[in-house]
Amino acid sequence: MGTYTDKVRHYFRFNASELRGMVITILIVGFIWGFNDGADEFIFRSWFAHMILSILIAAVAILIKESTHKLVGLSAGYRVEFQMWWYGLLVALAICFVTRGYVPILITGGLMFHHIAIHRLGFFRYGTNTLDLGMISMMGPIGNIIFATIIKNIDLYLIPLGPIADEIFKFNMIFAVVNLLPMPPLVGSNFFFRTRLGYFFCFGFILFYVIGILFGVYSWFLGILGAILLWAGFFFFYERAAI
């Protein structure tokens, strides 16, 4: 534990490039989420308040995701650096305008992994490998899912938080699904390249669980069923056919 604490103290930080990229990403993603406030008529004051709230929610979600990447990465001997994706953000912004905010593409960017040689001594497969990169990448969106679940349980069983809890919950869930898509440089592509079958099972569970939530159904069973179906479909129609 002492070694890990030492690594966090020395390496857990966001450099100037990361901070600049995160601020730009937060503003764009928050704008995309808050563009459509769901009101029947446009009232600037209420729309602006909703936009500020959306940017704050985006800031917390992105900070949780990138901090989780860094913390998990350090446990495996990697320094993880956030990389903003300009092209993806601009496309997401264009889709937001075209669809009037009804299709929020909440993407962030990719990751750069720096192998900390001295802290990898004794690890199996000493060098950089796809297993480490895939697991580190996967844990960021999972951090968002855990955070969203905690907020929702606080709202349901401890302290009623009102509509803001639903906003936080839905944002983080959709945010996790979008960033797990197997499209470089999104983090989901790292896990996909490590194990395609494992990816489809994990992604299927999260995807169908979130779809159920959007329709008011909170069911892990639906997520597991969807994961099995997606895994089986990919295996029989692609993996098995390729053998």
Kindly state the tokens that stand for 215: 């329709």
Q: Is 86 found in the same domain as 56?
A: yes
Tell which of 161, 176, 194 closes a domain: 194
Nearest to 64 by CA among 153, 177, 175: 175
Do 179 and 229 share a domain, yes or no?
no
Residues 109 and 228 in one domain: no
Domain shared by 90 and 178, yes or no: yes
What domain range is 238 assigned to? 196-243
Q: What is the pLDDT of residues 76-114, one digit of tens each?
A: 888 899 999 999 999 999 999 999 989 999 999 999 998
Q: Which residue has the higher pLDDT, 194 or 59?
A: 59
SS3 content of the chain, % helix, strand, coil (to 5): 70, 5, 25
pLDDT at 243 over 60: no
Q: What is the pTM of this model?
A: 0.88
Q: Are residues 86 and 111 in the same domain?
A: yes
Question: What's the token pair of residue 83?
Answer: 């990389």
pLDDT recorded at residue 224 = 87
pLDDT of 240 higher than 70: no
Tokens of 192: 């996909």
Percent of the chain residues past pLDDT 90, beyond the cut:
41
d(CA 168, CA 54): 9
Same domain, 40 and 69: yes
Instruction: State the total domains in the chain.
Output: 2
Cα dihedral: 167, 93, 37, 214 (round 10): -40
What is the pLDDT confidence band of residue 143, given thresholds at 50, 70 and 90? very high
> Do 102 and 204 fall into the same domain?
no
Q: Are residues 205 and 115 in the same domain?
A: no
Q: Which residues of 73-96 are buried (b: 16+ CB within 10 A; e: fewer)?
A: bbebbbbbbbebbeebbeebbeeb
Examine the domain organization and report whether 181 and 202 are in the same domain. Answer: no
Read off the pLDDT of residues 208-228 as tens digits, 9 standing for 90 and up.
888 887 777 777 788 888 889
| Lowest-confidence region among 115-119, 201-205, 221-225 | 115-119
Q: What is the dihedral of CA 202, 129, 113, 59, to 10 degrees?
A: 10
